[in-house]
């Protein structure tokens, strides 16, 4: 049975491939679904909330989103999976308040509506293509792996220990471990891919300080994922490159407020 890591907010499915691809690869065209009504307003800094998402029934509110942030939400991507070829001002923030037709949309339906909004109001024209991007390769460290072979179909979970986040599981493949390091914010600046050459499933526990926390407010005692992977698992994260599905934004226009 494939391991499912239960985060504090939701259950996240692991990636099925070692290639750093988006969780979904929708066509970058205008979907059929669209909001019934939507308001877009510029939100100049300082911002009390950045990338704040809330929903209630058919009503959705996105607060303090850049164009890149809206694209990340609409296509379920990380920032490194998006290339905006025109000039993109990182200080342009927007608030979006919208109503969906027909009751409460699912997250996937909401994303399709947001794709429509980006195409119609921001005039976004985009496509997916394969590109070479920076990655971290998960490899075996000097001295060999410190891993225990799995003997069960068990489940795993993530939790918090002070400033640290931990992943504990009795059954995980190296491909799923690489994907989970991204999904659980331990590594955020580039995808992790499995190049250990290790097959089968393993029992393990890894604990480290999430990258965003270390960047925003470093403290003595923080434990980077690079150190944790090597000391706790006998593995290593090495900078490398790999082909990935990238959303390329060919053109866009700032929206008119309403």
Domain end position, chosen among 124, 152, 180: 124
Residue 151's domain comprises: 5-22+132-244
Q: Is 132 left (phi over 0), alpha (psi -120 to 50) or beta?
A: beta
Closest Cα partner for 14 from 135, 131, 153, 181?
A: 181
Closest Cα partner for 233 from 143, 164, 135?
A: 143
Total tally of structural domains belonging to the chain: 2
Kindly give the confidence (pLDDT) of every residue in the chain, 258 residues in length, as a single tens digit, with 9 standing for 90 and above: 333 332 322 222 223 233 333 344 444 444 579 999 999 999 887 778 788 888 889 999 999 999 999 999 999 888 889 999 877 888 899 999 999 998 888 888 999 999 999 999 999 999 999 999 999 999 999 999 999 999 887 678 888 999 999 999 999 999 999 988 887 778 888 999 999 999 999 999 999 999 888 888 889 999 999 999 999 999 999 999 999 999 999 999 988 777
Shared-domain flag, residues 94 and 222: no
What is the rounded distance in angstroms from the CA atom of residue 121 to the CA atom of residue 79?
Answer: 21
Kind of pairing, strands 5-6 and 156-161?
Answer: parallel
Shared-domain flag, residues 82 and 169: no
Supply the pLDDT for residue 105. 86
Shared-domain flag, residues 14 and 71: no
The neighbour count for residue 233, using CB atoms within 10 Å, is: 21
Each residue's pLDDT tens digit, 81-112: 999 987 788 889 999 999 999 888 888 899 99
Q: Where are the alpha helices (DSSP H) in 66-136?
A: 67-75, 107-121
Supply the pLDDT for residue 241. 96
Shared-domain flag, residues 103 and 18: no
Supply the pLDDT for residue 6. 27
Distance separating the N- and C-terminal Cα atoms of the chain: 49
Domain end position, chosen among 79, 100, 124: 124
Number of continuous H segments (helices) and E segments (strands) in the chain: 5, 14
Each residue's pLDDT tens digit, 208-251: 999 888 888 889 999 999 999 999 999 999 999 999 999 999 99
What is the rounded distance in angstroms from the CA atom of residue 5 to the CA atom of residue 93?
Answer: 33
Token code pair at residue 117:
């909004």
Supply the pLDDT for residue 25. 42
Shared-domain flag, residues 219 and 137: yes
What is the rounded distance in angstroms from the CA atom of residue 84 to the CA atom of residue 67?
Answer: 10
With vertex at residue 152, the alpha carbon angle to CA 148 and CA 153, rounded to the nearest 5 degrees, is 120
The answer to whether 36 and 101 have CB atoms below 8 angstroms apart is yes
Burial (CB < 10 A; 0-12, 13-18, 19+), residue 143, is exposed
Domain end position, chosen among 73, 91, 124: 124
């Amino acid at each position: 049975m494939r391991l499912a890591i239960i985060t504090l907010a939701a259950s996240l499915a692991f990636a099925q491939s070692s290639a750093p691809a988006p969780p979904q690869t929708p066509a970058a065209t205008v979907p059929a679904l669209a909001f019934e009504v939507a308001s877009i307003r510029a939100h100049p800094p300082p911002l009390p909330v950045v990338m704040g998402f809330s929903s209630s029934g058919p009503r959705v509110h996105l607060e303090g989103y850049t164009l890149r942030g809206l694209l990340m939400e609409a296509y379920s991507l990380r920032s490194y999976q998006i290339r905006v070829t025109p000039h993109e001002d990182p200080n342009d923030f927007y608030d979006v308040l919208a109503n969906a037709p027909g009751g409460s949309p699912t997250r996937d339906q909401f994303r399709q509506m947001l794709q429509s909004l980006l195409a119609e109001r921001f005039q976004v024209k985009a496509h997916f293509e394969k590109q070479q991007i920076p990655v971290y390769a998960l490899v075996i460290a000097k001295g060999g792996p410190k891993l225990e072979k799995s003997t069960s179909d068990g489940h795993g979970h993530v939790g918090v220990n002070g400033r640290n986040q931990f992943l504990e599981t009795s059954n995980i493949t190296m491909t799923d471990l690489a994907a989970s390091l991204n999904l659980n914010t331990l590594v955020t600046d580039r995808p992790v891919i499995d190049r250990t050459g290790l097959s089968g499933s393993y029992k393990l526990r890894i604990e480290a300080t999430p990258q965003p926390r270390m960047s925003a407010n470093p403290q003595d005692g923080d434990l980077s994922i690079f150190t944790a992977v090597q000391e706790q698992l006998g593995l290593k994260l090495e900078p490398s490159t790999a082909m990935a599905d990238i959303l390329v934004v060919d053109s866009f226009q700032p929206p008119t407020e309403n």
